[in-house]
């Protein structure tokens, strides 16, 4: 089998591995293998192909990995009830823990609510902050 075909197979395997892992670690090596395949197609020699693979892979890794990591940090998505913590809600029904009453409108939905401070009483129309979600109950404070 020709060396260009081997380099091409390596590039494809690394690219598929990158797609499967989504860690942006294998893609630079796939790029290096692709460059080595091109050089092998022009009979550049095994030493030049291997050196090109190594240099291109390391340059791509050094240049692109920090960029990819910075994009991943900004995309930490909160889902479900975790996304509601920290949001502002409007008290719809008086919140009094000792009476077991209280509702807020949170993200367009009505939620059972309790004051985070057991002694607090919060009147309707008050804007509150969601500190925690326990089951289907929002724990809020003014």
Half-sphere exposure of 32 (CA within 13 A, CB side): 21
* Crossing angle (nearest 10°) for helices 27-41 and 3-21: 160
Phi-psi category of residue 34: left, alpha or beta, with phi > 0 → left and psi -120 to 50 → alpha: alpha
Residue-wise pLDDT for 59-117, tens only, equals 999 988 787 777 666 555 677 777 888 889 999 999 998 888 999 998 888 999 999 98
Query: What is the distance between the terminal CA atoms of the chain, rounded to a whole angstrom?
Result: 72
The residue to which tokens 């890794």 are assigned: 61
Domain stop point among 17, 49, 73: 73
Total domains present in the chain: 2
Task: Please tell me whether residues 84 and 107 are part of one structural domain.
Answer: yes
- The residue segments making up the domain with residue 124 are 80-141
């Amino acid at each position: 089998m020709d060396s260009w075909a081997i380099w091409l197979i390596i590039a494809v395997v690394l690219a598929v591995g990158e797609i499967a892992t989504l860690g942006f670690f294998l893609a630079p090596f796939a790029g290096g293998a692709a460059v080595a395949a091109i050089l092998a197609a022009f009979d550049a020699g095994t030493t030049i192909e291997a050196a090109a693979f190594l240099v291109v892979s390391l340059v791509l890794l050094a240049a692109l990995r920090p960029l990819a990591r910075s994009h991943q940090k900004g995309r930490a998505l909160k889902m479900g009830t975790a996304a509601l913590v920290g949001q502002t809600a409007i008290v719809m029904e008086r919140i009094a823990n000792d009476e077991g009453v209280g509702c807020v409108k949170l993200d367009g939905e009505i939620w059972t609510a309790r004051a985070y401070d057991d002694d607090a009483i919060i009147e309707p129309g008050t804007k509150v902050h969601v500190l925690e979600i326990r089951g289907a109950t929002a724990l809020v404070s003014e």
